[in-house]
A and B are shown apart, each in its own frame.
Chain A
Amino acid sequence: MTTASSDIIRGTADMLILKLLDIEPMHGWGLGQAMQRLSRDALRIQPGALYAALHRLTREGWISSEWRVTENGQRARYYRVTVAGRRRLAAETKAWKRLAGGVELILATR
């Protein structure tokens, strides 16, 4: 069961999706799996939110997609990051690190 704390923090989903697709182009399901696996089950994304995010990112021009056939011979839509998406990712990563650093500093304060 997913709990509130393991849900993707609102607003960070876009950044994570861009990051994962930047590592390797993949389809929606693979993306969900990768997120769960790489965060050691700390993060999960609901399919609805996932596909909504993919469409939004596509519209923004940060990712593009194409239909390919998987190893099992099924048709699947693969997403990849565009140049603009990569720029966006860099910016968001920077902002996130600042935020996380700030949070860390406060929590470390005695």
Chain B
Amino acid sequence: MSRWLHDLVFRGRALFDRDGADRELDEELRFHRSMEIESLRKRGLSASQAEWEAGRQFGTLASEAERAREGWGVSLLEELIADARHALRQLRRRPGFSAIVLVALGLGIGASVSLVSVVDSLMLRRLPYGNANRVHAFWMDDTWSGEEYDFLRARLGVFDQIAAFSTDAAPYAPSPGTTGATVLPFLLSAPTLFEVLGVHPALGRLFDASDDRVGAPPVIVISDPMWRQDFGSATSVIGHQVMLDGEMVTVIGVMPRGFFFPTPEIRAWRPLQLEPASAMYKVGYLSLVASARPGASSALVNGEVQRLATLLGTRFTYSDAGDKTKGAHAIPIRTYLLGDVRTPLLLLLGAVALLLLIACANGAALILARTTDRAGEMAVRTALGAGARRLARQILAESLVLALCAAIMGSVLASAGFRVLVSRLPLQKGFGSTVAIGWMSFATAFALALIIAIIVSAVPVRHLFRGGRELGVNRERSDEGVRHGVRRVHDAIIAAQVTLAVLLVVGSTLLIRTVEQIRDIDPGFDARGVTTYNLVPPSGMLEMVQRQFYRDVLDRVAAQPGVKQAGMTNRLPLRDLGYELAVTVEDRPDLAGARRPNSLYRTATPGFLAAMGMRLVAGRGIDSTDADGAPVVLISESFARRMWPGRSAIGEHITEHWGPDPVTRTVVGVVRETHMTTLTAESPFAMWIPLEQAPVQQGGVLVVRSAAPTAVVMPQVRREIAALNSQVAVSRVQTMDDVESTALAAPLRLRFFFSAFAALALSLGAIGVYGAVSYAVAQRRAEFAVRMALGASPGTVLRQVLVGGITPVVFGVAAGSVAAVGASRLISGILYGVPATDLVSFSVSALALLIAGAAAAFLPALRAGHTNPVEALRGVVN
């Protein structure tokens, strides 16, 4: 410790009192010179002779001072600069390898920094609600009726507030007079929502108890982004009237910046008006959130939820599929809002950490090889106790320079590619906009750089000191010893690297196979060339007018060049989940009452099935005669099979209760099974009712199949719709391909990252092997020359080098496979159709690494086999 202090004082003085130190040295040397002259004169030389002789022996005073100063190492700062320069020079000596290590570290840092920002924004930062820790969502989202909500509201127990809500969207214009061509996504919520969340407006007021009465003046609370974009942040917005859904709505409040609920896509909030007299009062379409009393434990909350479920059972009768008394649970609000981002984010962070470690191993190997180039010098210097520290410092400097360059590169990559990365993350819609990369991230990058530098330099430095102690001063032996030791360390690094790489490669193979399996699923429709458009008419639009509008749209769009078919439905498969309703099946008294089956309720026009590429397995589709004909229905294959096993469903009857009165319909067609909700799960039963026979709904989805490119078709269709009626808004213009890949999102996106990481890991591993084997070959050139001079064949040498190079890879693959058995369980939740310990994935990954390792070892091994004995031996003798 005191040595360090001493050193610091000395250096401090050299740095800050440079002039004083210089003057002292000059004086010391002048004294030396005068003593020398005097001594020479005593031996009988003349004054001038003595001066000349002293000068000759001494050199000029100036140059001696220079030499002395060099020895004392000038100042700390200059030394640091010198070290950094030296490090840069050394890295430039192996430009290819340095560049690869730099890129790998840079990518790793960039990805880590971005992911850390995302994790911070989504998982660590407080939600913008005062009661964030107390709010829970109720089970069975989007299924609660107004009646159930009112029932629960009167029996709160441990909850102090509860609120029902439902998302909605309507044509909107910021001020009356302009026609609504944009769609405003908003939330219909009970006035209690803001109390549940514990939030206050930035401006104006929130809903009060009178706002949700039927017939109350229409009001709206807007979000901060909407306030900024549409009203230029004017405070006069309170009391301003906007056009929404064809009526004038008064703005009463603005939410604070950063507030969102339930997603950032929702731009405004309107009071939910429940009318016990209306049919909608009994329809389940609402979600519920409630705030627990302060201090209520999660056990208490869950107990309460069970109690409420039991209470619900005493009042309401549920069908099997929609039984709310079963599986009752409260979901913490963060989980509810963000979904399960935790697993994919942590997985990606883990993958990036692995990649960084692999890149670190390459960095360590790079620097180790460089250090060993000077093994002889090092051994002597370390044996004499001098220089080891200096060498260690140089190693650290090299690692630091490498890591800092990587940090700079990573920061640049992270800020340039952050949006791209976030858009590729499996985040729920809209949340990408809430995450941002900040200065803290760059601090993270540099902290990472320091850690990396330490990891990278640890192995060579440790080796250096241990080498010095073991070797003594015998130069020949020390050289050999250092080399042998270095080979062992290299092998250990390679094995570790391969172990880590196996984890990434296995993970990506499993994900690739998962995506393949999902891709193999027949969704039941053909997405190619299909574009979709949500049509949102104002709610005041008369039923007759709306129906005529849809007919006109279909006619005009179908007549467009390049368009093959056009159809309408109420909800898209895979994208829009939608309502399931109980249906009564004729001839099945066993499926009556609470045991009635549920079915998705969909509408369709004659062109719909063809436009979607869905096919009939029996009967006919919907045609134009159905408009005025008897009530008919198409049902899904699984529905038909389960209700009428072993016989045709055509001509059978089912009764649906969608409209105000039950309608009994004849089954005229069976549609090939289509994945309606997700690709990976079995679809619920589904039925399609002719749009012309269905009660008119708010809006629908226009589906267009075209031969022309979708980019051409989309604006064309929009123009046609606008030309027909400018009051109707068009939203969510999407290709069906898009819809399908969104449904695939989590595995597809994780596959993207894992494949990229695995490819990097594989190449870094191969580069590591190549570097280590090349190095060993170069070091053992003399040995090979001797062996070959003594009669060893090139093949023997080649085999020996190859085996030596692959051995650590084999160890790494074995260790990695064992580790992967444990680690793959972490991603089992994302896998589909592939077990976490899939033998094929494991074998393929192991093989890939072995091949990469063998290929990487082969080139240098070939070089070793071609050693020219004479040439190499000359090198030894010289």
Known A-B contacts A47-B29, A51-B28; A56 and B3 likewise in contact (beta carbons under 8 Å): no
Interface string of A11-41 (1 = CB under 8 A from B): 1001000000000000111001100000000
- The answer to whether B67 touches A48, judged by C-beta atoms less than 8 angstroms apart, is yes
A75 close to B68 (CB less than 8 A): no
CB-CB under 8 A from A55, the residues of chain B are: 68, 71-73
Task: Report yes or no: B73 in contact with A47, Cβ–Cβ below 8 A.
Answer: no
Tell me whether A109 is interfacial, beta carbon within 8 Å. Answer: no
* CA gap between A38 and B380 in the complex, in Å: 27
Q: Is A90 an interface residue (CB 8 A)?
A: no
B27 part of interface (Cβ distance < 8 Å): yes
* Contact indicator B34/A77 (Cβ below 8 Å): no
A58: Cβ under 8 A from any B Cβ: yes
Shortest beta-carbon distance from B79 to chain A in Å: 11
Q: How far is the CA of A61 from the CA of B384 in the complex (A)?
A: 17
Q: For B25, what are the chain A residues with a Cβ–Cβ distance below 8 Å?
A: 51
Interchain CB contact under 8 A, A77 and B24: yes
Distance of A28 Cα from B25 Cα, bound (Å):
11
Q: Residue B32 at the A interface, CB < 8 A? A: yes
Q: Which of B372-407 contact A (CB under 8 A)?
A: 380, 384-386
Q: Collect the chain B residues with CB atoms within 8 Å of residue A11's CB.
A: 380, 384, 386
The secondary structure that dominates the B interface is helix
A65 CB, nearest partner CB in chain B, Å? 9
Q: Are B31 and A74 in contact (CB under 8 A)?
A: yes
Report which of B34, B39, B70 forms a contact with A74, defined as CB distance below 8 A: B34
A61 touches B32 (CB 8 A): no
Contact indicator A61/B72 (Cβ below 8 Å): no
Chain A residues numbered 56-72 whose CB sits less than 8 Å from any CB in chain B: 56, 58-61
Our pick among A52, A74, A76, A88 for the contact of B68 (Cβ within 8 Å) is A52
Residues of A within 8 A of B11 (CB): 59
B31 contacts across to A, CB distance below 8 A:
27-29, 74-77
Which residues of chain A are near B384, meaning CB under 8 Å? 11
Pairwise interchain contact A29-B71, C-beta atoms closer than 8 A: no
A48 near B64: Cβ-Cβ < 8 Å: yes
Q: How far apart sit A29 and B40, CA to CA, in the bound complex (Å)?
A: 13
In the complex the two chains form, is A52's CB within 8 Å of B24's CB? no
Q: Which residues of A contact B52 (CB under 8 A)?
A: none
Interface centre among A52, A56, A58, A88 (most CB of B within 10 A): A52
Question: Is the pair B380, A48 in contact by a Cβ cutoff of 8 Å?
Answer: no
Q: Are B28 and A77 in contact (CB under 8 A)?
A: yes
Q: Are B386 and A14 in contact (CB under 8 A)?
A: yes
Q: Which of B7, B28, B70 contacts A52 (CB 8 A)?
A: B70
Q: Mark B12-31, 1 if CB is under 8 A from A, else 0.
A: 00000000000011011101
Q: Which residues of B contact A77 (CB under 8 A)?
A: 24, 27-28, 31
Q: Give Cα distance in the complex from A33 to B57, angstroms.
A: 14
B70 partner residues in chain A, CB cutoff 8 A: 52
Interface size on A, residues (CB 8 A): 29
B59 at the interface (CB under 8 A from A): yes
Let me know if B71 and A53 touch, CB within 8 A: yes
- Inter-chain CA distance A35–B461, complex, in Å, is 36
> How many whole Å from A105's CB to the nearest CB in chain B?
13
B36 within 8 A of A: yes
Flag if A95 contacts B473 (CB, 8 Å): yes
For residue A52, which residues in chain B have a CB less than 8 angstroms away from its CB? 67-68, 70-72
What is the CA–CA distance of A109 and B67 in the complex, to the nearest angstrom? 42
> Does A42 reach chain B (CB closer than 8 Å)?
no
Q: What are the interface flags for A77-91 relative to B under an 8 Å C-beta threshold, 1 for contact and 0 otherwise? A: 100000010001001
Chain B nearest CB: distance from A1 CB in Å? 10
In the assembly, what is the distance between CA of A47 and CA of B35, in Å? 12
User: Would you give the 0/1 interface string for B24-58, flagging 1 where the beta carbon is closer than 8 Å to chain A?
Assistant: 11011101101110010000000000000000011
B3 touches A61 (CB 8 A): yes
Given A11-B384, A84-B3; A59-B29 close (CB under 8 Å): no
Please state if A47 and B386 are interface contacts (CB–CB under 8 Å).
Answer: no
The listed residue (B7, B28, B71) touching A61 by CB distance below 8 A is B7
Distance of A27 Cα from B58 Cα, bound (Å): 16
Question: B6 near A: Cβ within 8 Å?
Answer: yes
Alpha-carbon distance between A88 and B25 when the two chains are bound, in angstroms: 25
Collect the chain B residues with CB atoms within 8 Å of residue A88's CB: 385
Closest Cβ of chain B to A98, distance in Å, is 9
Chain B residues near A58 (CB, 8 Å)?
10, 72
Once A11-B380, A29-B35, A95-B473 are accepted as A-B contacts, the answer to whether A48 and B3 lie under 8 Å apart by CB is no
Instruction: Using CB atoms, name the residue of chain A closest to B24.
Output: A77
A52 to B28, CA, bound (A): 12
Chain A: minimal CB distance from B170 (Å): 79
Instruction: Say whether A59 contacts B32, CB under 8 Å.
Output: no
With both beta carbons as reference points, the residue of chain A lying nearest to B7 in the complex is identified as A59
Residues in A neighbouring B71, C-beta threshold 8 A: 48-49, 51-53, 55-56
Whether B36 contacts A29 by the Cβ 8 Å rule is yes
B386 and A61 form a contact (CB under 8 A):
no
Which chain B residues border A56 with CB–CB below 8 Å? 71-73
The answer for the CA separation of A74 and B39 in the assembled complex, in Å, is 15
Which residue of A has the minimal Cβ distance to B67? A48
CB of B27 within 8 A of CB of A51, answer no
Contact with A along B63-85 (1 / 0, CB 8 A): 11001101111000000000000
Partner of A29, one of B6, B24, B32, B63: B32
Of B24, B57, B384, chain A has the most CB atoms within 10 Å of the CB of: B384
Known: A27-B28, A47-B32, A61-B2. 6 other contacts (CB 8 A): A28-B32, A33-B39, A48-B59, A51-B25, A51-B32, A55-B72
- Counting from the closest, the 5 A-B pairs by CB-CB distance are A52-B71, A55-B72, A48-B67, A51-B68, A61-B6
Q: List 30 A-B contacts (CB under 8 A).
A: A14-B386, A27-B31, A27-B32, A28-B31, A28-B32, A29-B31, A29-B32, A33-B39, A47-B64, A48-B64, A51-B28, A51-B29, A51-B32, A51-B64, A52-B71, A55-B68, A56-B72, A59-B11, A59-B72, A60-B3, A61-B3, A61-B6, A61-B7, A74-B31, A74-B34, A75-B27, A76-B28, A77-B27, A88-B385, A92-B385
